[in-house]
């Protein structure tokens, strides 16, 4: 069943929202919220209704709920002032009030009854995500450009092979579809691929244009597309840049899509991998409740598979995040447990870049071991130089170890790799931190303000902004920021700051302690 309103088409089966034929990307919770409101448009949906339908009964903050409703409005050209399609009724709830036409989609028989060696796309079974990179089409009309198109696809295959938790179909298999006009879902069935990446290369005089798009092989829906232009004079440099950009964007897209898919399955069907993905989806909410729920999923995953290195590393990382944010009471238990999980994960998967950076974060925050975390981040980035989040955090740790210029270079690289990451505030706060380490507080204020604007619950960004404001004479504003810190971390004190902070060199730590004390953080 599809729902048509204005010039939008909402397709729950394919999890797509389109406007005039163009896809609109939505976060999973926003999509689920919109579908629920459209399906129940004959009545007002209460807050409890929304929590049950979208968050499966978990309690979330009013700000989280409001942000998802506002995002749904924005996606369909509505807003909180006019409320033309989604109307809020005070003290009652929310209702979709637009005119909707329902349409049954007629599917060809072949689509209704697929025959495949991958009878696999069943919700009861979760498979490791796999991707097939098809040969790029040469749109130049010159057969001499075939080598470049093939080389582009081969470089991307090599780059994707570095992504942990992702299987890449071999070149010899995916290249059998060269020149064939085949439905992408059939390609996915034949190759056993969850996703298909296809693209084209066009040369005009001394310019090159390369396009690429990522497609869900199960639904045929487009997940991502981009275009890259460059000069033919340095074709290999351009090829490297495109490969880095494609890999950097695809890796979080794949994790995000798989996590949201797992989240919609009934809990009783989840195995260790499902639980791991559910934890990844929960952590995006960035709340103490969601983080605790994610850790619960990871604990269950490790009960099913005690050697699951990725779940170990994620558990260690999220324990570090809870401590980093002030979401846990001071206790000796979480820190040793998190550090042990980190080292166990590294022992089991010493060359997995995803395991390395997550474990390194835990060791930086919980063990306060700057040199070891620095080494682990360097190893992770050397194995997969295209991971935006690993590169960002590697920059944080370089600055914490007294190398702010190197740290800033890494964070700037991460922002080039993926200009629209899932957690942009991490890079922005990292930039502020590098300037604080250098004593350049005016620049630190500018970056910290951007980070706080992206996420007002990010404790380190709030702390850094308060520090930089005190140093630049903005004491009144710094006191207001300290009040926000206390909302995020009610038990925050000056005395507890050394325990809460990750490893930073002593002069920088003393700068945070002294300035936050001046700004009114309780002793």
Contact 501, 512 (CB under 8 A): yes
The yes-or-no verdict on residue 480 having pLDDT over 70 is yes
Does the model's pTM come out above 0.85? no
Length of the chain: 523
Query: Tell me, what's the pLDDT at 60?
Result: 66
Report domain extents, the chain: 2-103, 110-249, 270-368, 386-523
Residue environment code for 367-394, b if the CB has 16+ CB neighbours within 10 A, otherwise e:
bbbbebbbebbbbbbebbbbbbbbbbbb
| Phi-psi domain of 133 (left: phi exceeds 0; alpha: psi -120 through 50; beta: other) | beta
Contact 160, 244 (CB under 8 A): no
Q: Are strands 101-103 and 93-96 parallel, antiparallel or unpaired?
A: unpaired
Q: Is the dihedral of CA 366, 370, 371, 377 positive or negative?
A: positive
47-61, 209-223, 425-439: segment of lowest average pLDDT: 47-61
CA Rg, the chain, in Å? 24
The yes-or-no verdict on residue 233 having pLDDT over 90 is no
Architecture of domain 110-249 in this structure = 3-Layer(aba) Sandwich (3.40)
Query: Tell me, what's the pLDDT at 464?
Result: 96
Question: 3-class secondary structure for 115-150?
Answer: CCCCCCCCCCCCCCCEEEECCCEECCCCHHHHHHHH
Task: Extract the tokens encoding 270.
Answer: 């989840």
The strand ranges marked E within 299-357 are none
CATH pick for 2-103 out of 3.40.50.300, 1.10.10.10, 1.10.760.10, 3.30.460.10: 1.10.10.10
Query: Tell me, what's the pLDDT at 456?
Result: 87
Query: How high is the mean pLDDT of the chain?
Result: 82
Contact 502, 365 (CB under 8 A): yes
CB atoms closer than 10 angstroms to residue 73:
22
Confidence of residue 119 (pLDDT cuts 50, 70, 90): very low
Higher pLDDT, 384 or 373: 373
pLDDT digits (tens, 9 = 90+) for 48-80: 888 888 876 666 667 678 878 988 898 898 888
Phi, psi of 25 (to 5 degrees): -80, 135
Rounded to an integer, the average pLDDT of 425-433 is: 95
The yes-or-no verdict on residue 41 having pLDDT over 80 is yes
Residue environment code for 241-268, b if the CB has 16+ CB neighbours within 10 A, otherwise e:
ebbbbbbbbbbbbbbbbbbbbbbeeeee
Higher pLDDT, 503 or 273: 503
Higher pLDDT, 471 or 280: 471
Fold designation for 270-368: 1.25.40
The answer to whether domain 110-249 and domain 386-523 are alike in fold is no
pLDDT digits (tens, 9 = 90+) for 4-23: 988 889 988 777 888 877 77
Task: Extract the tokens encoding 18.
Answer: 């389109």
pLDDT digits (tens, 9 = 90+) for 289-308: 889 999 999 999 899 888 88
324-333, 339-348, 481-490: segment of lowest average pLDDT: 324-333
CATH pick for 386-523 out of 1.25.40.390, 3.30.70.360, 1.25.40.10, 3.40.50.1970: 1.25.40.10
- CA distances 107 to 13, 74, 104, 181, 184, Å, are 12, 31, 9, 20, 16
The yes-or-no verdict on residue 37 having pLDDT over 60 is yes
């Amino acid at each position: 069943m599809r729902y048509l309103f204005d010039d939008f088409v909402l397709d729950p089966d394919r999890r797509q929202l389109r406007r005039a034929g163009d896809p609109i990307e939505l976060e999973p919770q926003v999509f689920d919220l919109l579908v629920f409101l459209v399906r129940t448009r004959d009545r007002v949906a209460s807050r409890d209704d929304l929590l049950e339908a979208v968050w499966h009964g978990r309690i979330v903050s009013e700000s989280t709920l409001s942000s998802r409703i506002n995002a749904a409005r924005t996606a369909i050209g509505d807003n909180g002032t006019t409320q033309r399609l989604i109307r809020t009724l005070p003290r009652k709830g929310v209702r979709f009030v637009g005119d909707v036409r329902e349409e049954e989609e007629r599917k060809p028989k072949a689509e209704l009854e697929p025959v495949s060696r991958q009878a696999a796309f069943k919700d009861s079974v979760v498979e490791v995500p796999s991707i097939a990179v098809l040969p790029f089409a040469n749109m130049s009309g010159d057969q001499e450009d075939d080598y470049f198109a093939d080389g582009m696809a081969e470089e991307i295959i090599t780059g994707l092979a570095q992504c942990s938790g992702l299987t890449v179909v071999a070149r010899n298999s995916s290249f059998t579809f060269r020149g064939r006009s085949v439905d992408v879902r059939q390609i996915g069935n034949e190759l056993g691929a969850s996703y298909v990446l296809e693209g084209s290369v066009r040369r005009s005089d001394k310019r090159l244009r390369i396009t690429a798009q990522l497609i869900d092989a199960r639904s045929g829906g487009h997940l991502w597309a981009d275009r890259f232009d460059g000069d033919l004079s340095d074709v290999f440099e351009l090829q490297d840049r495109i490969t880095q950009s494609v890999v950097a964007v695809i890796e979080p897209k794949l994790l995000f899509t798989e996590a949201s898919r797992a989240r919609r399955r009934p809990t009783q069907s989840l195995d260790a991998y499902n639980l791991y993905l559910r934890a990844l989806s929960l952590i995006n909410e960035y709340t103490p409740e969601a983080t605790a729920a994610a850790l619960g999923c990871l604990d269950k995953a490790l009960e099913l598979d005690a050697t699951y290195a990725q779940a170990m590393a994620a558990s260690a990382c999220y324990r570090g995040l809870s401590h980093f944010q002030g979401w846990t009471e001071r206790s000796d238990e979480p820190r040793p447990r998190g550090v042990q999980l980190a080292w166990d994960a590294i022992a089991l998967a010493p060359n997995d870049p995803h395991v390395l950076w997550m474990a390194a974060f835990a060791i930086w925050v919980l063990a306060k071991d700057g040199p070891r975390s620095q080494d682990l981040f360097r190893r992770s980035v050397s194995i997969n130089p295209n991971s935006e989040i690993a590169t960002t955090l590697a920059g944080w740790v370089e600055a914490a170890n007294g190398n702010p210029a190197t740290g800033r270079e890494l964070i700037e690289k991460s922002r080039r790799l993926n200009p629209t990451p899932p957690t942009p505030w991490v890079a922005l706060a990292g930039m502020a931190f590098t300037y604080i380490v250098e004593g350049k507080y005016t620049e630190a204020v500018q970056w910290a303000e951007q980070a706080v604007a992206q996420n007002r619950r990010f404790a380190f960004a709030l702390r850094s902004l308060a520090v930089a404001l005190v140093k630049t004479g903005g004491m009144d504003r710094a006191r207001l920021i300290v009040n926000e810190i206390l909302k995020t971390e009610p038990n925050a004190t000056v005395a507890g700051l050394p325990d809460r902070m990750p490893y930073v060199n002593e002069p920088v730590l003393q700068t945070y302690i002294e300035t936050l004390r001046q700004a009114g953080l309780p002793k």
